[in-house]
Structure 1
Amino acid sequence: MFIRGNANVDPMPVNANQRGLTSDAALPTLREGQSWLTLSVRFRAVHVIISTLLDRDLALLFEDANHQILAQVTQLDVNDNLTEWIERLPKQLPAPGLGAVFEESWTEVLFNSRAYHSLPSSLNLLDNARLRSESPGVNSGVIRTSLHAYTPPVTAASSSSRYVTSGIVDTLLGPVIVLALALLTSTFVMFLVEERVSKFGHQQALTGISPMTFWGASFFYDFLLYSFACACFLAIFFFSGWMHGYLHFIVLLFALYFWSCVPFVYAVSFMFSSPSKANVLLIIWQLVAAFAAMLVVFLLGIPGMIDTSLLEFIRRLEDVIHNEKSFYKFVVGDFNAKLGKAEGDEYRIGKFGLGDRNENGSRLAGLLSSARLFHGNSIFIKKDYRRWTWESPNGTTRTEIDYILTNRRWCLFDVSVVPSFCCGSDRRLLRAKIRFSRKMEKNICHRGGRKEVVYDDTILAESLSEHNWDIAEDPTEDYKVLLEKLRVCADRASKPGTTNLERISKATKELLVKRRALRLDPHASRIEQLTANASCRRALHEDLQKFRRNKIMKAVEGKRSLKMCRRDLREYSVPMTALKNEDEIVTFSHREMECMV
């Protein structure tokens, strides 16, 4: 069996030698009494098939690299069938049986997947040929490396074995312990049944032995026998180095099993008349009950296992989304979740979802919030038959479980199902129309320039002279103190930043202050307030016209773009179209809005 491997991109060399495996890598230091077990590996002759569809220097170098390792190389013609030549190869293992096909822009390497050394060997040969084709000289650019295989020593405390894996041990541990304890405790019933059937217990009662003494002696004898067997188990665990750190839990397990099982054995001893039959039936009963309890525990733990795996998947997906630095992020797939419509202030989910939300839908909503994604399916208004993506086998249930999530809501034009496209399954094709705007991407990613801070030299010099600039012993603490002092001095010496208030003259500002005073004055008449409003409007209009004229003149004098200047002037004015008063009533009248302000 051969597997094809394409080499369209530059692969990282996988280093291996086909005639021997060694390694120069540094190995961990051995402790006293330990030694490495080295493996010397030898392979049979390698049969290499080379099919060159177009003449390339790389094919010749690949053939030469195979000749250097004493491989049997067969050069095929252009018309020869590569599959027929592969079928003629001897089916020997572990002979690699390498091969290569060379095209103009790509190379295809063939290797035997059953021979584990075939993949690194084939890649090593191809990389050697590619290095030699790119390097000057005959023998330059050749990788000659090898692999050293060893097995670490198995200590007494290690739980791994050469023949039994830890998974097998964990699987068989519970049933074996139950079987051992069942075989031990079920024998306690034999003496009780035998004494009752032979009337020996009745004779002891006639001699004056009280029931408390009889059952107490039986319990004490069974406890000693059980303790001796458990002590043997613990000794084996201790000297074999197994279950170290958990022996106290093992002791607790043995004690709880004894106190729960022995009273049951004593109670059911009156139901049997044959000691051997009682022993066998109790063994069967304990095994069946234990396995049933294990099955119940396993079934009860399945939802928790599913929840744990699902939460782990969501956590990893969230990490991938946060670590991905792409501007556009899309998450598409089946989340097995019913999300429905937005609830409360969930602005990342639309108002047009299908169905009610389930538990997985709540988890998906949490993922949308934490990963800052938008739910594309529920943003657009669609009919139900354009929303559901899964149909039950009987055709009665149709739900929406396939979603398209993105971090840029504006890039989605439409998200809907394509009803006319048949997938041949219970799913339907979900389609999204997406736009990519380079302009919007630049606007979002662009960071505006920082405002230049102007400092007063006199105040700054005074602030610097007031502080003590001694150097502390700890460099970290000295750096923190230095930054704090410089920040305090800069805050004191910084001048207030300039704003766009130069558009309004000083006289206009005085009119605005006067209008506010008239508005707050209860004795001011309506005529005075209207006159002040008109004066403010007239003054603001004149100031803005003057500001606009000055900006255009500066642009002309500086030989700058008048189009950009007009655009900047338009951005200065943001008209207020509506305003609410104290009673939450919206007004659209400019005169009423002036009175409110």
Structure 2
Amino acid sequence: MLLKKFFSTLRNWYLLILQIALPVALLIITVLTARGYVPKSTFPSLKISLDPYNEPVTLMAGITNLSYYETYRNNLGNDHQPLEVSDIATEMSRLTSESPANAKRHYIVAASFNESTATAWFNGDPYHSSPLSLSLVLNAFYKQKFDETYSVTFINHPLPLSLDIQLDNLQFNLMGFQISVELGFGMAFVASFYILFYIRERVSKAKHLQFVSGVNVVVFWGTSFLCDMVTYLLTMIAILITFAALQEDGYKTPDELG
């Protein structure tokens, strides 16, 4: 039985190599990736514009021959063409009743103009839709009142993280989390390799012939367990050697590796 397992492993040597190489490769990639992680203490500022949104549609209503109306439409640019409607509230009610998800995703801001007032409409779901709508209307007034070179840019500057959050970020062990996830993922594949031999024996009726020929069940499965444990130990040794070679904090001394 031992010779059978030995020759089977020798014949399928590529599975043994893959069984050892897969978790080792995942471990190396995980450690190198986690080393590049730097906890953020601040976040970059965000320029408020229509560009980050997915195919936004800007509704416009009111007196179309007003100069502010034309300036607002021109400020949207060629990438964000407006949709002119008679009444924004009625149109949004219709769009929302037909497809709420589409209305939330694409209809971010709108504007209506008459002879005395301009109204900036915004979708309440996106976080930055209200300052975006206001900036578009204000830019229309500034450019019309002064010159095309004048404009207002709205920028969101996030508040700095509190000391507690920064401390939590520093204490968060990304390395340990990534290793546990990726190594568990790799070992799941390793465990699946062991069943291939027994499936092959069952399909080819070799297992049945061995039992008919008088092979003891305990001997059959005991030998299989022993041989599988040896190859599993080879995988474990390769992983421990990789840990020792990478010299990562918490995984480099004999006591830490257990």
Query: Do both proteins adopt the same fold according to a TM-score greater than 0.5, normalized to the shorter chain?
Result: no
- Greater C-alpha Rg: 1
Higher helix share: 2
Higher relative contact order structure (alpha carbons within 8 Å, sequence separation ≥ 6): 2
| TM-score normalised according to structure 2 size | 0.39
